[in-house]
Amino acid sequence: MKNNLIKGLIFVGAFLCFSMVQAQTVSGTVSDATGPLPGANVLVKGTSNGTQTDFDGNYTLDNVSANATLVFSYVGFSSKEVPVNGQSTVSTTLTEDAQALDEVVVIGYGTTTKQDATGAVETVKAKDFNKGVVTSPDQLIQGRVAGVQITQSSGEPGAAANIRIRGTSSIRAGNDPLVVVDGIPLGGGGGAGSDIGLGRQSARNPLSFINPNDIASMDVLKDASATAIYGSRGANGVIIITTKKGRVGKPQVSFNTSVQFSNISNEYDLIEANEYPSIAASVGNTNPDLGARLDPFGSILRTAFTQQHDFSYGAASESGNYRFSLGYLDQEGIIKGTGQQRYSGNVNITQRAFNDVVTFDTSVIYSYIRDDGEAISDNVGAEGDLLSSALRWNPTRPFYNTDGTYNQPSDNQRNPLAILEYYEDNTETSRILANFGTTVKITDGLNYKLNIGLGRSESTRRAATSSLLNTNNTLGRGVASYEDNYNFNKLFEHTLSYKKDFSENFNLDAVIGYSYQSFEAKGNRIVGRDFSVTDQDIYLKDIGYAATIQPTEVSGYFNPSFELQSFFGRANINYKSKYLLTATLRADGSSKFGENNQYGYFPSVGAAWRLTEEGFLPEAISEFKLRGSWGVTGNQEFPAGSAQTQFGPTGDGTALQQDNVANPNLQWESVSQWGIGFDYGFLNNRIKGSVDYFNRTTNDLLFRLPAIQPAPNVNYWTNFDDIQVLNSGFEFSINAGIVETEDFTFDISYNMAFLDNEIRNVSNQFPLGIPTGEINGRSLSGQRAQLLYDNQPLYEFYLPIFEGYDAAGLPTYRDVNGDGVVNPNFDGPGGNSDRDFVGDPNPDITIGIALNARYKNFDMGANLNGAYGHQIFDNTNAALFYKGAVTSGDNATYQEVNSGAAETGGGPFLSTKDLQSGDFLRLNNLTVGYTLDSQTMSINWIQSLRFYVTGQNLFVITPYDGFDPEVNTNKEVDGVPSFGIDYTSYPRSRGFVIGLNANF
């Protein structure tokens, strides 16, 4: 009996000891890549035993078996299972779930989910942005969205970009999309600089004031179903930028820093100094060797250094969130004397009060930008700017005279180093964009919101040319220009939103609202000539040094205030999560319109059918949704006051004269668009994407015409309802998670868009078409290269067809009209000129490719973009490089000097000789990074450190032999834009970045 009792006690003790070993307390920390995750779920797999992490991401869980498995989960992140294996401390890091994060999309005055959207909407999150040194938001999504073409005008820091969503739809009313930042629609900006004798300066990027590191997401609204909520400004699509907010958890400090080194990526194949004497002599140059051995173009280039530093501090709790950030960018250009500095700040605060009945939102963006420019022009003539002077300069001609002064042979042979020394161009811009919102919860599902937005920018440009620079006497001896521009806009909006599930199968999400926004712009310009000193820096400080040989010029402008009053509504209906309907209507009253057309009405409707909810599709198909939409949007990007009579000063400033004739019937351009498409997903959406077809027609095109009266320079704006612009095309995108394991992931994204563009019935109003595409250079100035005409793409090239050189080395052209006489002059179809439509600058196909991989703590990302089926006219080659240039002592390319052209009379000339394919595929950026977390470093106060190296613009595959195929110099004629012409554009660079992202 006693033995049995002892045995029993031993058995019970062994059982208790075994249980103590098997059932234990486990603790740890749950984090993401940037820090702890408060509120993350921790569950023992197969049981109900679980808990949540605290404010610092820590948890403690009792009664955990030694061989149990813990399941960690958090909204927006992939769940993770970790075996306990007898450990008492189990910590883990969760990774973002791309599928979950991509669900919410911003559609204007609200949000929806990707699966419930009926329109063509694409969202790009911060994790998918293009990497490297990015100076403006548009660069973040280049190549990332099907149907969105972003073309940098040049490689200059801060240069403007052309953004086209589903093609070009207007002639005179603008083609850039509406950009909305934290709920505030932006106005225009970024105008070109004035000409003080060295050509018109290029426009600046109006989006550069936003620090890309402060952006959380960019939503692109492409079709009328999505953009009609913005009415008369939605014709060219809408880009909605949302800045970052604080994240749930303890306050987080982030610091990002990077440095970049850049050099020119491609150059013209110019004759080198050691070969120039023999080549020049062979083409009849009687003084082929001037003694020096130079690299003239290389003399204005440098290895550019860029540094970027960003600091942010933020957090979130149940009652709100906050985030503060500061940024500094100092970007040198690869051309000496050029660059951009930017100081930026961002504040985002959300605070809920009165038991979450009232929510206050504040968003403020501030930036100060200094642009340093050089004499790089869009339209300089034979005299030349900095680039053309360096390209032309004889590599055997010394830069300096024997006395140390600059060698300046003539105004037509400008010394590039003298231009660098004697020209200054500085622009300073400060801008603030503030948004204040208050949301009141009236009842469950019914909310009222008041939104107030303010935008203000001031820009000052100071440009000067010293009297020591050899310039044409008509320009005066020394010139300085002061320009000040001021823009202010204010926004007041009231919205009432209602969201309710009426039953398990039916829910409604609706919004109605009123919006008022006004814009004001004014500025002045002072020009002084013939200075009594030679230092142009003094000119910039005090224009009063100008002598009285020529009077100082003073001018100014005050644009009529543009006001927009709007009423809008939208309803989203969801029935059984299968059938979706969106209906939108906006009424816009604009002061730009004529008194007989004060209001415009813009309706749209979109519908979708989620077949995956019907139950008859194979299990492998996780998503299949058919979509269709139709709508009308508007375009009112024409000058305020165009519908009214306007007066301005006469040339001598002594009186007023009429500038514009009133048109009470003037209205917006309207774009009617319909489209169909489908979204798809396979294998639980590891493979997903969309396919779309769209068709859009622009009606009531806006034109500015000379008024029918004897007064000079009087304009008259009108609409032509018979001229139309058509755009149609297909868009395709796919995102595939090829490999998804704990240690290794690899995914690929691909998008492609096909576009067909056409203008109709131009000849009804303009029998000879509408010329544009200004061409500049010796004997070329005043010529036009493009023509808008019936059944042709916008900006189609209209040129003499070059057929080679005759026996005398003179160019020959095709007799297009067959009359036996070749006449290459420009007088439009049906005239006597032998020109033809020979090339389209609009790409037929655009593509984007993104590759991303992760192996443990290593990550890699690559982005490529390309365009095919379009042409570029190389005005640089046409104007500067021909055999006769070497004969007269300038430089040229090997290709041109080895052509069959005559030494004199063989150029320059305008023809298809300089029309080239613009096809290209670019490796935009390639990044490799390595991340250390706090566990790896055993340092609690550092959450993570990520080191990375990025290569930007590593290669371009293209037949184009200019600087770069992605270029668009401003060659407008009388306000009609051009596209696809390259003229002494700032070359693109190739850069390498070393960076660190730190989170504390």
Q: What are the C-alpha distances in Å from 601 to residues 183, 494, 566?
A: 22, 19, 10
**What 8-state DSSP symbol labels residue 883?**
H
Phi-psi region of 279 (alpha: psi -120 to 50; beta: other; left: phi over 0): alpha
Q: Which residues lie across from 218 on neighbouring strands?
A: 124, 241
**What 8-state DSSP symbol labels residue 147?**
T
Structure tokens at 563: 């006001």
Tens-digit pLDDT profile for residues 618-650:
989 999 999 999 999 998 888 888 888 877 766
pTM (2 d.p.):
0.88
* C-alpha gyration radius of the chain: 32
What is the b/e burial string over 395-430, where b = at least 16 CB atoms within 10 angstroms of the residue's CB?
bbbebeeeeeebbbeebebbbbbbbbebbbbebebe
- In the numeric block, the tokens 């002598």 are attached to 547
Residues whose CB is less than 8 angstroms from the CB of residue 147 and which lie 6 or more positions away in sequence, other chains included: 120, 165, 166, 222, 692, 694, 729, 731, 753, 755, 846
CA distance 21 to 715: 91
In which element (H, E) is residue 599 found? strand 599-610
Q: How many CA atoms lie within 13 A of 997 on its CB side?
A: 18
pLDDT mean for each 10 residues of the chain (1000 residues): 46 41 78 74 85 80 88 79 88 70 76 86 90 88 93 87 91 89 79 65 84 93 92 92 84 92 95 96 93 95 96 87 95 95 95 91 95 88 88 96 91 90 92 95 93 94 86 63 90 95 90 94 84 72 60 67 91 93 94 88 95 90 95 88 76 68 89 95 92 95 76 79 94 93 92 96 92 90 92 95 92 88 77 87 96 93 96 95 93 93 88 96 95 80 90 96 92 90 94 93
Residue 400, classed as helix, strand or coil, is strand
Structure tokens at 408: 């300046």
In contact, 223 and 390? CB cutoff 8 Å: no
**What 8-state DSSP symbol labels residue 39?**
T
Residues whose CB is less than 8 angstroms from the CB of residue 230 and which lie 6 or more positions away in sequence, other chains included: 108, 178, 180, 185, 238, 586, 633
Q: What are the C-alpha distances in Å from 182 to residues 12, 165, 314?
A: 67, 20, 18
Q: What is the pLDDT of residue 131?
A: 86
Q: What are the C-alpha distances in Å from 119 to residues 164, 347, 581, 860?
A: 18, 32, 10, 33
Judge residue 558's burial from the number of C-beta atoms within 10 Å of its C-beta, 0-12 exposed, 13-18 middle, 19 or more buried: exposed
Tens-digit pLDDT profile for residues 920-954:
999 999 999 999 887 777 787 888 899 999 999 99
